């Protein structure tokens, strides 16, 4: 009968030195075990034994850490090669100083089978696949048979992982693992011994298949019976004392676990946040007299996010100007509001998210660009309406919606319906805004005439009132006539070119027009011919199928003459409509006086009215009336 094999199991740490190898007749397996940081924060000075009750290793979870974590890469190591590492039924707990615990077992079917487990850090069966056995091969992983080897074999994890370890600043450093020796006898009895040798910092657990003779280096028995189960309250008190000794409050511990700074705390964090008892804890905090005030203040502070966003949507009617309307964009306005009202925004998004269906056409519609734009726009309108219902001063969106409805011909009754629905301001407010905007426009026009040359244009306008207006003595007429003036900003205009005296001097010295003055130049004639030919070809390409292919021809594009800069738009300024009829000579004089004296508030001695030329573009009737006014005021000294 062959002798029982002798095995030496070295529980090592990355903080320890290597130990001497056993004789060639001994197979040595160096197992990476706990790195020295104990999750229960054992006192390093006392190094008291830590007893944990036997637990099935498959009931625990694993948490993967970066590869730089060398020590503590596993909670246990199976030397029996079982397909899935499980705690044998005949396992015996072995307490070791320094907070480590081993589990020894003698398998009945295979005499050489045993397990060494680094509890209290158990693992899942998946950990068995994360170890790589290096040559020479001396361990059969698929069976429980352990073979003898002539040289050492190293069992090392293929990737670093660690289970449920507290953060480094909350853990203690175990200096070393105790040296243990054990003998397995035929009866299955196990005796372990401990050596307090200070030569090395490694601890060795020796299992020999020989007689029950104890190892000569034994100084004290460390095999202990299973301790009585400690009440949970006592365990909690012990843990709290450890926190107190480390000057760590319970809130510090909870905040550290719930923070996302350390990946090694993810398992604790998930277990806490995913626990069904979390609701009970929140209920306890709410019902407790000591914490109810704090929780209530937190809830009220969170509920004030709508109040904190009021300044972002506040709008005074006097601040509404044409520039505000030109730059108005609902996404730009609502983006900071949505960022401040995160709870409300999440509720709105969840309530308006389309329901998913097993329909490709439905998915295509809900993911289209147009649908997404309309959905985001609608969400912004709804959110702005909620803010407006809470405070009528938060009307930066509703103002523009109401003005748009009024400008597109919406009736007063429809605008009032929109106002009652929280989508627009009232009709009376719109009328007040129109007066404020008119004054803003007049201020811009006044700045223009004082700083830059401008062009004047005006024409008659007829305003019709509703047919339902009763024609009484104090009511307006159904049709009211007047004049609508506009000012245009001139491009590339130099004020010295608009001086009136040089223009009049050249007019006095000019000779009557000749035919050569009216005849176009060669360049102008060639340009006219080219444009005429392009116009003829455009008729063919538009109405004849045989010429359709020429529509995209670049040579048939009208060439530009005196082109203005790309993207340029002529700025214009609307003035107030007056009730003066401009169809007569006297009416034109009154119109000019109303524009520059009454509306633009220019004094009669300003240079622009006395020494400057003001170009004007009008229809032929208005131009003839202007010339009549010039003749009528030929002897005016202010000319």
Place of tokens 């024609």: 471
How far is residue 497's CA from residue 80's CA, in Å, rounded to a whole number? Answer: 104
Using an 8 Å Cβ cutoff, are 488 and 449 in contact?
A: no
Listed residue (413, 378, 381) closest to 395, CA to CA: 381
Report the phi/psi class of residue 492: left, alpha or beta, with left for phi > 0 and alpha for psi in -120 to 50: left
How far is residue 196's CA from residue 96's CA, in Å, rounded to a whole number? Answer: 12
pTM of the model: 0.47
Q: What is the pLDDT of residue 144?
A: 29
Question: Which SS3 state, helix, strand or coil, does residue 565 take?
Answer: coil
CA dihedral defined by 129, 132, 133, 139, rounded to 10 degrees? -10
Instruction: Give the containing element (helix H, strand E) for 248.
Output: none
- In degrees, rounded to 5, the angle at the alpha carbon of residue 466 between the alpha carbons of residues 463 and 467 is 120
Q: What is the pLDDT of residue 240?
A: 87
How far is residue 639's CA from residue 613's CA, in Å, rounded to a whole number? Answer: 10
State CA 353 to chain mean position distance: 18
Using an 8 Å Cβ cutoff, are 575 and 595 in contact?
A: yes
Q: Residue 214 has which token pair?
A: 């104890």
How far is residue 383's CA from residue 334's CA, in Å, rounded to a whole number? Answer: 8
Q: Residue 36 has which token pair?
A: 């020295």
Using an 8 Å Cβ cutoff, are 142 and 83 in contact?
A: yes
- Provide CB contacts within 8 A for 44, sequence distance 6+: 172, 173, 174, 175
How far is residue 95's CA from residue 178's CA, in Å, rounded to a whole number? Answer: 10
Question: Which SS3 state, helix, strand or coil, does residue 63 take?
Answer: strand
**Can you list the alpha helix ranges (DSSP code H) found in 90-195?**
none
**Count of other CB atoms within 10 angstroms of residue 388:** 23
Q: Interhelix angle for 250-258 vs 232-245, to 10°?
A: 90
Q: What percent of the chain has pLDDT over 90?
A: 21
- Provide CB contacts within 8 A for 344, sequence distance 6+: 305, 306, 383, 386
How far is residue 179's CA from residue 204's CA, in Å, rounded to a whole number? Answer: 5
Report mean pLDDT in 10-residue bins for the chain, 639 residues: 37 33 33 35 33 30 31 33 41 40 39 34 36 30 31 31 30 30 32 31 30 34 57 86 88 84 79 86 88 80 76 88 88 92 89 72 62 85 92 91 92 92 92 88 91 92 74 74 92 87 89 88 91 91 88 86 86 91 90 92 84 90 90 70
Cα distances (Å, whole numbers) of residue 131 to 9, 16, 74, 88, 581: 16, 21, 10, 20, 100
Q: What is the 3-state secondary structure (H, E, C) of 130-173?
A: HEEECCCCCCCCCCCCCCCCCCCEEEEECCCEECCCCCHHHCEE
First to last CA, the chain: 137
How far is residue 44's CA from residue 18's CA, in Å, rounded to a whole number? Answer: 22
* Bridge partner residues of 184 (DSSP): 190
Using an 8 Å Cβ cutoff, are 216 and 195 in contact?
A: no
Q: What is the pLDDT of residue 424?
A: 92
Q: What is the pLDDT of residue 400?
A: 93
How far is residue 529's CA from residue 538's CA, in Å, rounded to a whole number? Answer: 14
Q: What is the DSSP letter of 45?
A: T
Q: What is the pLDDT of residue 591?
A: 93
Q: What is the pLDDT of residue 101?
A: 39
Q: What is the DSSP letter of 110?
A: S
Q: Residue 481 has which token pair?
A: 């006539």
Q: Residue 79 has which token pair?
A: 């030397």
Q: What is the pLDDT of residue 529?
A: 93
Question: Which SS3 state, helix, strand or coil, does residue 576 take?
Answer: coil
Q: Residue 510 has which token pair?
A: 């000019």
Place of tokens 């365990």: 235
How far is residue 422's CA from residue 392's CA, in Å, rounded to a whole number? Answer: 9
């Amino acid at each position: 009968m062959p002798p029982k094999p002798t095995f030496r199991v070295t529980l090592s740490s990355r903080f320890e030195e290597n130990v001497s190898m056993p004789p060639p007749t001994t197979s040595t397996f160096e197992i990476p075990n706990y790195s020295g940081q104990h999750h229960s924060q054992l006192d390093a000075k006392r190094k008291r034994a830590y007893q944990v009750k036997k637990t099935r290793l498959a009931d625990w979870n694993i948490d993967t850490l970066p590869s730089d974590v060398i020590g503590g890469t596993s909670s246990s190591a199976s030397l029996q090669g079982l397909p899935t590492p499980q705690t044998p039924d005949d396992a015996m707990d072995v307490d070791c100083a320094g907070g480590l615990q081993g589990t020894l077992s003698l398998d009945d079917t295979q005499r050489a089978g045993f397990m060494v487990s680094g509890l209290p850090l158990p693992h899942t069966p998946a950990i068995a696949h994360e170890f790589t056995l290096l040559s020479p091969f001396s361990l059969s992983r698929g069976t429980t048979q352990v073979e003898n080897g002539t040289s050492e074999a190293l069992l090392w994890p293929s990737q670093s992982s660690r289970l449920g370890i507290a953060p480094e600043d909350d853990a203690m450093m175990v200096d070393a693992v105790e040296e243990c020796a054990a003998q397995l006898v035929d009866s299955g009895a196990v005796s372990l011994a401990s050596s307090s040798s200070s030569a090395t910092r490694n601890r060795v657990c020796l299992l020999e298949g020989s007689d029950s003779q104890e190892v000569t280096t034994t100084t004290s028995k460390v095999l202990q019976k299973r301790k009585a189960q400690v009440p949970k309250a006592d365990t909690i008190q012990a843990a709290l004392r450890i926190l107190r000794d480390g000057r760590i409050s319970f809130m510090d511990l909870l905040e550290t676990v719930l923070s996302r700074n350390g990946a090694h705390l993810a398992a604790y964090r998930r277990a806490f946040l995913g626990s069904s008892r979390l609701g009970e804890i929140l209920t306890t905090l709410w019902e407790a007299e000591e914490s109810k005030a704090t929780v209530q203040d937190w809830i009220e502070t969170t509920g004030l996010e709508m109040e904190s966003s009021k300044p972002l949507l506040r709008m005074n009617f006097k601040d509404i100007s044409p520039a505000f309307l030109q730059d108005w964009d609902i996404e730009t306005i609502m983006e900071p509001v949505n960022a401040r009202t995160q709870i409300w925004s999440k509720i709105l998004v969840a309530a308006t998210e389309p329901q998913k269906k097993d329909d490709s056409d439905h998915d295509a519609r809900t993911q289209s660009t147009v649908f997404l734009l309309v959905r985001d726009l609608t969400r912004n309108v709804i959110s702005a309406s909620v803010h407006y219902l809470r405070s009528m001063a938060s009307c930066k969106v509703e103002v523009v919606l109401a003005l748009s409805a009024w400008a597109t011909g919406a009736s007063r009754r429809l605008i009032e319906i929109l106002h009652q629905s929280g989508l627009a301001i009232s009709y009376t407010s719109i009328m007040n805004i129109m007066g404020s905007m008119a004054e803003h426009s007049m201020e811009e026009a006044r700045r223009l005439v004082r700083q830059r040359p401008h062009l004047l244009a005006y024409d008659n306008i007829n305003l019709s009132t509703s047919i339902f207006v009763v024609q009484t003595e104090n009511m307006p007429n159904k049709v009211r006539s007047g004049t609508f003036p506009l000012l245009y900003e001139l491009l590339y205009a130099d004020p010295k070119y608009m001086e009136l005296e040089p223009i009049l001097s050249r007019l006095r010295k000019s000779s009557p027009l000749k035919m050569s003055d009216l005849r176009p130049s060669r360049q102008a004639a060639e340009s006219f011919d080219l444009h005429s030919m392009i116009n003829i070809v455009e008729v063919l390409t538009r109405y004849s199928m045989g010429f359709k292919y020429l529509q995209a021809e670049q040579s048939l594009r009208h060439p530009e003459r005196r082109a203005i800069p790309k993207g340029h738009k002529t700025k214009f300024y609307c003035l107030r409509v007056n009730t003066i009829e401009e169809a007569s000579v006297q009416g034109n004089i009154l119109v000019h006086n109303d524009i520059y004296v009454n509306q633009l508030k220019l004094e009669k001695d300003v240079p622009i009215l006395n020494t400057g030329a003001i170009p004007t573009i009008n229809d032929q009737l208005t131009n003839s009336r202007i010339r009549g006014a010039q003749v009528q005021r030929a002897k005016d000294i202010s000319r």
